[in-house]
Amino acid sequence: LADAASVRAFAAAEVGKPLDVLLWNAGIGFAPGAARDTTASGADTRLAANHLGHVLLVDMLLPSMIMAAEEPAAGRSAPPRVVVVSSSLAQDADVEAWRTDPHQAAAATYDSRLADR
């Protein structure tokens, strides 16, 4: 999910198929002392994998969820939905710290999980 091109390719293969549930749960953490790294597009890798990639995927697959909602409910007990799973790491987030110390992998992980809330 950190690679936008990969997310786009996956979504393109799924568009046009009804989709009932999209689980927003994948993510990457950090190793203590690890430096922050970035994607090819310049985004923080953890923010891209833990949040931005999910936003792109939901945006691209929303037409498939609308399609599922408009089909007759063949055994469906609820309307299509996106289920967002975050992490308790979000409680340690401090987005202001990015301005003063932008090289903390732990902070990037915490902040990316805060974005999911």
Q: Which CATH architecture has domain 4-115?
A: 3-Layer(aba) Sandwich (3.40)
Confidence of residue 11 (pLDDT cuts 50, 70, 90): very high
Domain boundaries, the chain: 4-115
Q: What is the pLDDT of residue 56?
A: 95
Mean pLDDT (the chain, rounded): 79
Helix, coil or strand: residue 104: coil
Confidence of residue 102 (pLDDT cuts 50, 70, 90): low
Q: What is the pLDDT of residue 99?
A: 58
Q: Is the pTM of this model over 0.75?
A: no
Model pLDDT for residues 18-36, shown as the tens digit of each residue: 999 998 887 777 666 667 7
Burial of 42 (0-12, 13-18, 19+ CB in 10 A): exposed
